[in-house]
Amino acid sequence: MNAGTAILIVDDNPVNLKLARVLLTTSGYNVHTATDAEHALDLLNTLRPQLILMDIQLPGMDGLTLTRQLKARSEFRDVPIIALTAYAMKGDDERAIASGCAGYISKPIDTRNFTTQIAQYLIRQSHPLHPPNTAGENQ
């Protein structure tokens, strides 16, 4: 299922960006990266990813504002956007969902479960009537 599946990672932290890229590339995903909202918007003029991983704390336009902008566009309405944040505070998940995110993953990412979490979001996108069991995904 992974071969050729395009994923965009938007994160301004080079260590986090590299780790997520390596994990996903090793699993066979076609990974694209952006370090801020403006770069992401430029990429999305031609790129149509199947999933977007969105850091919440971006320089300039934050990730939730970018998510709201993308969800307002018909070509991205059905693309799952997963919030990534190191600031896992009470209510962050609700703010992410309210902004249009399909889910929420806390950083630092759990390297043992990260690719499984991503696969589950992609399955959920493909089969919305049968969402996978994602209990405990934000632990």
| pLDDT of res. 137 | 42
What is the 3-class SS of the chain, one letter each residue? CCCCCEEEEECCCHHHHHHHHHHHHHCCCEEEEECCHHHHHHHCCCCCCCEEEEECCCCCCCHHHHHHHHHCCHHHCCCCEEEEECCCCCCHHHHHHHCCCCEEEECCCCCCCHHHHHHHHHHHHHCCCCCCCCCCCCC
Q: Looking at the predicted structure, is the pLDDT value of residue 138 above 70?
A: no
Q: Which domains does the chain have, with CATH numbers?
A: 6-126 (3.40.50.2300)
Q: Looking at the predicted structure, is the pLDDT value of residue 134 above 80?
A: no
Tell me what percent of the residues of the chain surpass a pLDDT of 70. Answer: 87
Q: Looking at the predicted structure, is the pLDDT value of residue 139 above 60?
A: no
pTM: 0.88
